[in-house]
């Protein structure tokens, strides 16, 4: 596997993870709206500031908000680690099946999904896991 292939795969999968993160943010905002207003209304969102504020007040958060934060944190961590592992495990397939695919916009991930029948067992399992996490 070339360094460029690994980097492109990670960049491509990162786009899918970013899309998932946007859904997660919407879920947190919906579940934690009251808590955000009560404890963090003066915080300018961005660069993790709002999350740090929520963590500083974790003992005061509603059960719904706290549970959502734990759930989404675990999901995001799992998705990121899965994406990195897939980029490594699927490197031979990316080199051969997706060599002409430009990284970005989820195109390498889509190439792997399109070529599922040609993937090794290990790569196929990684891709299936990422697909499931991104769709949920």
- What is the reported pLDDT for 107? 82
Domain-wise residue ranges, the chain: 3-30+63-135
Q: Which two tokens stand for residue 42?
A: 């003066």
Alpha-carbon Rg for the chain in angstroms: 18
Closest to 18 measured CA to CA, from 112, 125, 134, 99: 134
* pLDDT for 3 beyond 60: no
pLDDT digits (tens, 9 = 90+) for 6-39: 555 555 565 666 676 677 788 888 999 999 999 9
Find out whether 108 and 14 touch, Cβ atoms under 8 Å.
Answer: no
Query: Confidence band (pLDDT; 50, 70, 90) for 52?
Result: confident
Closest to 130 measured CA to CA, from 22, 28, 23, 14: 14
Find out whether 75 and 133 touch, Cβ atoms under 8 Å.
Answer: yes
Stretch 52-60: mean pLDDT, rounded? 92
Mean pLDDT of the chain: 82
Model-level pTM? 0.55
């Amino acid at each position: 596997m070339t360094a460029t292939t690994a980097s492109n795969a990670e960049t491509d999968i990162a786009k899918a993870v970013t899309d998932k993160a946007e859904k997660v943010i919407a879920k947190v905002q919906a579940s934690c709206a009251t808590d955000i207003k009560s404890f963090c209304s003066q915080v300018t969102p961005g660069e993790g500031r709002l999350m740090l504020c929520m963590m500083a007040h974790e003992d005061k958060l509603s059960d719904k908000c706290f549970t959502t934060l734990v759930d989404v944190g675990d999901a995001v961590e799992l998705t990121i680690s899965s994406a990195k592992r897939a980029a490594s495990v699927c490197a031979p397939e990316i080199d051969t099946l997706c060599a002409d695919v430009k990284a970005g916009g989820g195109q390498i991930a889509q190439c792997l999904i399109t070529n599922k029948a040609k993937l090794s067992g290990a790569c196929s399992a990684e891709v299936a896991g990422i697909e499931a996490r991104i769709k949920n």
